[in-house]
Amino acid sequence: MYYLRLFDPWKNKLCTCPPKYSLSPYTGCSHFCLYCYATSYIGLRKSTPKKDFLHRLARDLAKADRHLPVSMSNSSDPYPPEERSVGLTRATLRLLREKGFRVMIVTKSDIVLRDVGILAERGFAVSLTITTLDSNLARRLEPAAPPPDKRLRAVEVLSENGVPVVVRIDPVIPGLTDKDEDLIELVDSVVDAGAKHVVTSTYKAKPDNFARMLRAFPEKAETWRELYLKRGERIGGYWYLPRNLRERMLQPVTDQARKRGITYATCREGLTSKRFFNAPTCDGTHLLRT
């Protein structure tokens, strides 16, 4: 296969994702989030449509297993600003629908609302990332992504139209987005807007994104170096926070999700007890209707 690939978490021993395909219509990502891990593989560059994408995807789909869902996209947002004019993701959705595949959209963008007419059909769900409700902080962390109020509105509109919605509260960053009261408010806000499942995880550092984070938040540099490089642990090519700190930071999210009666999970944390993981799937693909 050329563009449709079996999801491969690079043999990360903490990954709990179910079998699925990964598909990215674009290379690179114009949202330029500071914490992005994918830049360590492809560099920091704007979203560019992949060459001959739809033709090659059609060939891939002819050989693919329709029982497996398609996750779009895990490392490059399918709704960058360029999508407004290019329309590649919209065309991809139509092709996937025609071929009978179930699809999970993973995005930070309210541009997804343009395609609500397609997504409201059976077999689609949307996973929207909302890192913080603080628009100023979001602008620093995710410079070219839509502000959190637009993403929250997208959750609401999608839900009103019958589209199952997952919210990724990810990453939770020490000293920036980890206040208990802020995380509880965020969970309440997305549940009130209609989210059915929450996924959460802590910021995991790689050399390039860590350098960007240190430049953007120099006042946190000493603390983060201590937490990640001295007290943390190296897992699967990432620097992780100490486990006890990760548990403390994520508990407000999962505890509040449980109180609000929705499913929840952590992502690549090794936290699989019911306090941190109470769902048929971590990524929310259990919400996809056949």
Residue 130 has pLDDT above 80, yes or no: yes
Q: CA distances (Å), 268 to each of 118, 152, 240, 277, in order?
A: 31, 25, 10, 11
Reported confidence tier of residue 43, pLDDT bands at 50, 70, 90: confident
pLDDT of the residue at 176: 98
Cβ neighbours of residue 271 closer than 8 Å, sequence gap 6 or more:
246, 247, 250, 277
| Architecture, CATH, for domain 5-287 | Alpha-Beta Barrel (3.20)
pLDDT of the residue at 11: 67
Reported confidence tier of residue 1, pLDDT bands at 50, 70, 90: confident
pLDDT, the chain, mean? 96
Q: How far apart are CA 104 and CA 65, in angstroms?
A: 16
Reported confidence tier of residue 8, pLDDT bands at 50, 70, 90: confident
pLDDT in tens, 168-227: 999 999 999 999 999 999 999 999 999 999 999 999 999 999 999 999 999 999 999 999
Kindly provide the b/e burial profile for residues 183-220, where b requires at least 16 CB atoms within 10 angstroms of the residue's own CB.
bbebbebbbebbbbbbbbbbbbbbeebbebbbeebeeb
Task: Provide the percentage of residues in the chain whose pLDDT is more than 70.
Answer: 99
pLDDT in tens, 137-155: 999 999 999 999 999 999 9
Cβ neighbours of residue 99 closer than 8 Å, sequence gap 6 or more:
58, 61, 66
Residue 100 has pLDDT above 80, yes or no: yes
Residue 9 has pLDDT above 90, yes or no: no
pLDDT in tens, 224-242: 999 999 999 999 889 999 9
Q: Tokens for 187?
A: 């969970």
pLDDT of the residue at 220: 98
Q: How far apart are CA 195 and CA 163, in angstroms?
A: 10
Residue 250 has pLDDT above 90, yes or no: yes
> Are 158 and 112 spatial neighbours (Cβ–Cβ below 8 Å)?
yes
Q: What angle (nearest 5°) sits at the alpha carbon of residue 174, between those of residues 169 and 179?
A: 65
Q: How far apart are CA 74 and CA 34, in angstroms?
A: 16
Residue 263 has pLDDT above 80, yes or no: yes
Q: CA distances (Å), 202 to each of 74, 81, 152, in order?
A: 17, 27, 21
Q: How far apart are CA 189 and CA 181, in angstroms?
A: 12
Q: What angle (nearest 5°) sits at the alpha carbon of residue 154, between those of residues 67 and 16?
A: 40
Domain spans of the chain?
A: 5-287
Q: Reduced to 3 states, what is the DSSP secondary structure of residue 106?
A: strand
